[in-house]
Amino acid sequence: MKLAYKNKAKEILQEILQVKTKSLPGSLPYLLFGEGKVSTQSLYIKIGRNFEKWFKFIVEDAGMTLLPDGVVKNVIGEKSKDIDLIFRDDNTIYYREMKSNLELDTEKLPATYEKIQMITKYVEKEYPGYKVDSSLLHWSVYEPSILPRKYNTKVKECGKHDVKVSYPIDLFKTISVDISDKEYYNFFRELGGMC
């Protein structure tokens, strides 16, 4: 893994760790541990959101062109949607809805694949002449073989709705970046140690 990728990830993590959210009355951590306990749920949410920047950094470093992302107004009709990662090469627009956890409940999973379908239609309309490659990027595992069986249902459900699930191994192959599973896991464990 390139040193620049490691440095960018550490920079993102340091920014997150500077503002630690404490557990508040009304939360289970507050009930169990009292005032002053750092909210791990808040930390995980911040890491999930902010590490989109890391993947964008790698994509751009690989020579791909990043396209406008974030909250886009009027994606379909009046609906605004948050686009996580979108980039292109000469022929294809790649859209990735990033999830660090596929443990989505019965309401969130349909909302996720419906969002991907909606944004895919938007991208097809906005970028005529390009092939559109969309997927849910599950980035907390390098590749799917180690996932517990319970995730198979989630992946199949996405597939039934023409939404594929991809992983970092797929992204890195697409953009021709050499990061092995061992490097990926070892580095994220190093980041975990910094937390």
Look up the CATH number of the domain holding residue 120: 3.40.1350.10
Amino acid 73: pLDDT:
82
**Amino acid, single-letter form, for residue 168:** P
Amino acid 129: pLDDT:
94
Judge whether residue 168 has pLDDT over 80: yes
pLDDT tier, 120 (very low <50, low <70, confident <90, very high otherwise):
very high
| Distance of alpha carbon 191 from alpha carbon 9, whole angstroms | 8
pLDDT tier, 80 (very low <50, low <70, confident <90, very high otherwise):
confident
DSSP per residue over 144-184, as a string? GGGS-THHHHHHHHHHHTT-EEE-HHHHHHHTT----HHHH
Give the residue numbers spanning the domain of 180: 3-194
Amino acid 58: pLDDT:
97
Tokens 């997150």 correspond to what residue?
Answer: 16
| Distance of alpha carbon 131 from alpha carbon 88, whole angstroms | 10
Number of domains in the chain: 1
Beta bridge partners of 47: none
In this predicted model, which residue has the larger pLDDT, 104 or 140?
A: 140
pLDDT tier, 34 (very low <50, low <70, confident <90, very high otherwise):
confident
Alpha-carbon 55 to chain mean position: 8
Q: What percent of the chain has pLDDT over 70?
A: 100
CB 94 within 8 A of CB 88: yes
CB 123 within 8 A of CB 96: no
Amino acid 145: pLDDT:
92
Beta bridge partners of 55: none
The SS3 assignment for 111 reads helix
3-state SS of 9-47? HHHHHHHHHHCCCECCCCCHHHHHHCCCCECHHHHHHHH
| Distance of alpha carbon 123 from alpha carbon 94, whole angstroms | 9
β-pairing, 164-166 with 85-88? unpaired
